[in-house]
Amino acid sequence: MAHDAGKSLRNAVWITFAIALLLVWGIAEGGYYFTGIAVPIPLRIAIVVGVTFGAFILQGSFILIDKMSEEKPLSGHVRDTLGPDRKKSD
């Protein structure tokens, strides 16, 4: 199961990277063609990397939320709590 989640995350990041790269470069070149305002290459790269890391974080959180629904609660009584709900055994 963990291997599937890693593969899914890897695929999502690569797909997002490719789409962001194409869109950012296309928008920057189109903007230069129509307005004459050039977007420098380091800024383009920073936008692509930012979008890719954002997708990485979001996809990772979706995978964690999915895995949370598969977990089963512990059965029985918990006796090692340190909170205020612990009864003092005298």
Domain boundaries, the chain: 2-69
Distance CA 81, CA 10 (A): 38
Q: Give pLDDT tens digits along the chain (90 positions).
A: 556 777 888 888 899 999 999 999 999 999 999 999 999 999 999 999 999 999 999 998 988 888 887 777 666 566 666 655 555 554
Q: What is the pTM of this model?
A: 0.68
- DSSP assigned state of 76: S
Q: Please name the residue that has the structure tokens 């512990």.
A: 74
Please tell me the predicted confidence (pLDDT) of residue 90.
46
